[in-house]
Structures are given as C-alpha cells and as structure tokens.
Amino acid sequence: MSDNFDVVVIGAGPAGYAAAIRSAQLGLNTACIDKSLGKDGKPAFGGTCLNWGCIPSKALLDASHKYLDAKEHFAEIGITVKSVGIDVPKMIERKDKVVSGMIKGIAGLFKGNGVTGLTGVGRLLANRQVEFTPHEGDRTIVQAEHVILAPGSVPAEIPPTPIDGDRIVDSTGALDFTEVPKRVGVIGAGVIGLELGSVWGRLGSEVVVLEALEEFLPMVDERIARDSLKIFKDQGLDIRLGALVTGTEVNKKGVTVSYTDSEGEQTIVVDKLIVAVGRKPYTEGLFAPDSGIDLDDQGFVIVDDLCATNAANIYAVGDAVRGPMLAHKGTEEGVMVAERIAGFKPMVNYATVPSVVYTHPEIAWVGKTEQEVKASGESYTVGQFPFAASGRAQAANDTQGLVKVIADTQTDRIVGVHVLGPQASEIVAQAVIAMEFDASAEDLGLTMFAHPTLSEAFHEAALSVAGHAIHMVNRKKRS
C-alpha cells in the first residue's frame, strides 16, 4: 500500500464511498478507510445506510407490507388466500442477504474504479496525515493532499431508556427481532420510529408510539401531517403526543415505561422497547487533539456551503455536518467535494433536498411547507389533487393521500411539493427535477404525463394551482 494519496476518505457510507469513487474517476489516487464490521464480523462498506438503516429497513418494510396486503387486502381484489403465515427468521435472513449483496457491490465498485479500500480505523492527525489502524495488522501513517471526513452518525440515546440490546433496543436492534413481539413500544414519532413501528405493527404487534412533542411530524406540511396521523392511527398505531418518557424498568414480564402527558404520570408495559429519538454525528475518536478541526456544541464538524472545514484541504460531508441526515444529501456532498478537488466548481442545491418517510402510504416532500411560506409573508397559491381521483390509484386499490403543490403567486415558480400516497418517494423525484430547473406550475401543467399513472396526480395538482385541474372540480376557476 502506498503511504501517499491525493485523497483519503474516512468513512465508506453513501457520502464517503461516493466521494472516493468520484475522486478516483477523476484520476486522483484515492483511499477510503472504513472500520465497520457486519453481522458476520467481516468488513462491511456502506455505512449505516446500507448495513443498519435505509436498505435493511426497507427490506422489512416491503416484506411486512406484502404480508399485510395478502392477509387483509387481497380479497378486495378477488384473490383468495387460505392462510398467510410469518416466518420472521426467514424475513431477517432475506434482509441480511440483501445487505450482504450490497456490501459486495461497494467493494466491487472500489475495485472497478481504482479506489484503495482500507478496512480499519482512520484518525485525522495534523498536516493532513491520517493514522490507519487495520483490524488486523500494525498501525501506519498515510499522507494525503486532501482529506474528506465522512464518519456518519449513530443512534442517539436518552437517560431514561438505557439500551440493553435485548428488551430495550435502538433502531439497529429493532431490525433483528427473531419473532413478532406481542407489545412494542417506540420512543419517538419521527421517520425512524414510524417506519419501525409500521414494520412490527403490520406483522401483528400492538404498537404504542410515545412522542414528546405535542405536534406530529412538525417538519412536514401541516395538511400532510394531519392526514397521515389519522391514517396511521386507523392502521392501529397508538401514537401518543406530548408523552415525555421519564424512566424504564426491565423485568421478566417486559419493560415498564413511565411517561408524563397532559393527564399526569402514565405507564405502559411492552415486550420490546425501540428507542428512535434521532441520531448524532459519529465523530468520537476521529481527530487527534492537534488536527485543528472545529466542532460545534452538538459534535457536528463545522463546514461552509462547500463542505470545507476550517483546516486547509480538509472537508467533511454527510451526517457529520449541518443539514438533514439523509443518504442522498451526503452522496451529493461527497461528489461535489471530489469534483471541486479536481478543479471543477459544482454546488449542492440544498433547497431541493427531498425527504421521505417509507410508511404506507409514503410521505415525501421537497422545498417549503405551507406553514413556512405563510410565516415568511410570501404570497402563494396551493394546488391539490387526491389519489382517490386517480384512475391508476383506484385500479391499484391504493387511494389514500394527495399531492400538494405550492407556487409563488407572483412568479408561479414552485416552492414546495408534498406527497402523501402510493409511491410518493418516486413522485417527489419529479418535483425535485422541476424545482432544480426553476419550473412554474404552468410548466408542469403544460407537460404531458402518461395515463394512467400515479404521477398524473402531480400533474393535476400543478394544474389545480391555477384552477385548471381536469379530473376534479376546481375550488377556484381561472380563464
């Protein structure tokens, strides 16, 4: 192994591996250091997203949704199933197989692009030196012209709910239950809590979600949040807002969770408790004292709009820096930094970062919420279209939700798109493209969408901004 590289990346999650691959594609001698080990104890590129987050959770969400469909909804479309069973170990085995295949895929991409993949611990020293300690072998010092820090994040913990890995687990542990618990408690009604609660609720668990905030999904458009809360409660998720957890007690019967709400002190007893109160940057042990990198009071690496730290030629990307902890946001930052090192001048448009909650129906959005636009004092117009009026949604027996388009009244430029419904995660991508190219609602209205598709709901919502929707009666009409 060479002791000198043009670029050394620490961390091989979506931000790190994208930075490393793009750097190598641009002709830079690149190494990527990652210390993750998989369930089998072997090196596992891919970070949290691939190993313990995005990919494994979606495998379980997809499997549990198919089970619930077969159990409760097939009869509605004329399919009779005599019995539907659950094999949780098989479900977990398939999830692990998907993850294993993806890990091998990242290793293959490194090899194919000429990235030197190093498995072990990387630590930033002064003067762009990186200390590399392999899982097996002696420590070495690597010199880099440029360093990209992509350490990722880890689940946050709170004192009242100490993780024991058995009864009380974090989001990682919740992906590996060996059977369906009778009662599941979830602390936190954010993206992770709702997704994990949905998985085990669909498979038969009684799920109680305790959320300290009084408001449900405050980062989501109010109409979308209100409608989704009703849908989730109808699905059987017992979501309790304003519930502040104060303590837990583990015994043979399960976990007794104490919390306070508007009615005073309360308790619930569950078999498994999932702590999903967010994530924190994983910067512990990443820096030597003389590395010169500044962190904020929450442990995030301080960077500018181009992901540069206060130290020359050292960058940080992904979950360890400001902004939403989203794999795709980190990926774009990693690619941007690699290209800037190579002499190009790309930028990340943080106004068009999409967000998704992979429940069913899905929730997805990009841009501003209506409450944000209203608070800013800007003049705006809203167009909406329900999936109940979509022929494709009706044919698929999946009609809950709507598409909402928010446009500036003066310019007609789209400032926000919010989707609650089937394949919202795919539909919002069209909104991102539209906003990236500064499209107006009229532009979308003049665009031809295939029929019948779920995407037509986005088209109709854009037409609705001007009162021109075809497949519903418009509340406002314009010439």
Q: For residue 432, report the phi and psi dihedrals to the nearest 5 degrees.
A: -60, -45
Residue written as token pair 């038969």: 204
Same domain? For 229 and 371 the reply is no
Same domain, 304 and 374: no
Residues 244, 215 share a domain? yes
CB half-sphere exposure, 188, CA atoms < 13 A: 21
Distances (CA, A) of 99 to 89, 102, 236, 391, 420: 15, 5, 29, 36, 28
The angle subtended at Cα 174 by Cα 233 and Cα 255, nearest 5°, is 80
Q: Are residues 291 and 323 in the same domain?
A: yes
Of 348, 382, 401, the domain-final residue: 348
Q: 138 and 181: one domain?
A: no
* Domain boundary residue, one of 257, 277, 297: 277
User: Backbone dihedral region of 46: left (phi > 0), alpha (psi from -120 to 50 degrees) or beta?
Assistant: left
- Flag whether 474 is in a domain: no
Contacts of 8 (CB under 8 A, 6+ apart): 30, 31, 32, 33, 122, 130, 142, 144, 146, 147, 148
Q: Do residues 109 and 93 share a domain?
A: yes
Sequence-separated (6 or more) residues with CB below 8 Å from residue 236: 201, 206, 207
Secondary structure of residue 319 in the 3-state scheme: helix
How many domains is the chain partitioned into structurally?
3
pTM over 0.85: yes
Peptide bond into 134 cis (omega under 30): no
Note down the domain range covering 202: 168-277
Taking the C-alpha atoms of residue 153 and residue 91, their distance in angstroms, rounded to an integer, is 26
Cβ within 8 Å of residue 43, ≥6 positions away = 34, 36, 37, 119, 135
**Does residue 224 sit in the same domain as residue 336?**
no
CATH of the domain at 299: 3.50.50.60
CATH number at residue 407: 3.30.390.30
Give a yes or no: residue 162 inside a domain.
no
Asked whether the bond before 361 is cis by omega within 30 degrees of 0, the reply is: yes
pLDDT in single tens digits along all 479 residues of the chain: 668 999 999 999 999 999 999 999 999 999 999 999 999 999 999 999 999 999 999 999 999 999 999 999 999 999 999 999 999 999 999 999 999 999 999 999 999 999 999 999 999 999 999 999 999 889 999 999 999 999 999 999 999 999 999 999 999 999 999 999 999 999 999 999 999 999 999 999 999 999 999 999 999 999 999 999 999 999 999 999 999 999 999 998 899 999 999 999 999 999 999 999 999 999 989 999 999 999 999 999 999 999 999 999 999 999 999 999 999 999 999 999 999 999 999 999 999 999 999 999 999 999 999 999 999 999 999 999 999 999 999 999 999 999 999 999 999 999 999 999 999 999 999 999 999 999 999 999 999 999 999 999 999 999 999 999 999 999 765 54
Helices 88-113 and 14-25 cross at an angle (nearest 10°) of: 30
135 catalytic residue (yes or no): no
Residue 330 tokens read as: 């980190």
Angle ∠(172,355,61) on CA atoms, nearest 5: 45
Instruction: List own/partner pairs for 129-133 with CB under 8 A and 24 or more apart.
Output: 130/8, 130/10, 130/33, 131/288, 132/33
* 49 and 114 together in one domain: yes
Q: Tell whether 50 is covered by a domain.
A: yes
| Helical (H) or strand (E) element with 443 | helix 441-445
Query: Does any domain span residue 470?
Result: no
Report yes or no on 143 lying in a domain.
Answer: yes
Q: Do 29 and 141 lie in a common domain? A: yes
Does 113 lie in the same domain as 172?
Answer: no
Where among 301, 327, 348 does a domain terminate?
A: 348
In a domain, 478, yes or no: no
Check 418, 451, 459, 471 and give the catalytic one.
451
Whether residues 145 and 25 share a domain: the answer is yes
Whether residues 341 and 360 fall in one domain: no
Distance CA 243, CA 214 (A): 8
Residue 371 within any structural domain of the chain: yes
Residue 475 is assigned to a structural domain of this protein: no
